[in-house]
Amino acid sequence: MQKIVIRYVKNVSVSTGINQVLLGQEIFDDICEALIPRVDPNSKAFLVKKFHGVENYRWDIESVGQVPNPNAPITYEVIVSQYAAAQPIVYLSTTQKKTFAP
C-alpha cells in the first residue's frame, strides 16, 4: 500500500537553541502523488490550516523537504511560522459569534 505523510512543524526558540514542535500531520493511503508547496525565495507562500489547540489559522511556509527514511512511508516535512499580520486577523467563526450573539 502506497502511503504519503505530510508533517507540519513549527520551530520554537528556546534557550538551548531551536526545538521543533509537531503541529499535526496528514496521512494519505493509496495516493501516488500529492501537491506539495514549493518555496520560492522571491515570494512568500502560505497555507490556511487549523491545528488542535492552536488559535492561529494562517501560516507562512518556511521550507518543505522530504524526510529520508527508506523503511518508512514517503514523508514530507513542512516548516511553518505564524503569519505576522500588521492588523489583527478576524476569522469567520469570530464574526459569526458577534453577529448571532443575543
Q: How confident is the model at residue 7 (pLDDT cuts 50, 70, 90)?
A: very high
The mean per-residue pLDDT over the stretch 24-53 comes to: 82
pLDDT of residue 52: 93
Enter the C-alpha cell of residue 70: 527508506
Asked if 26 and 74 touch (Cβ cutoff 8 Å), the reply is no
Lowest mean pLDDT, pick from 10-14, 32-36, 75-79:
32-36
Per residue in 42-92, pLDDT (tens digit) is 777 888 899 999 888 888 888 888 888 888 788 999 999 887 765 666 667
Helices and strands per DSSP (H, E), number in the chain: 1, 5
Asked if 9 and 22 touch (Cβ cutoff 8 Å), the reply is yes
Q: What are phi and psi of 69, to 5 degrees?
A: -160, 105
pLDDT of residue 90: 67
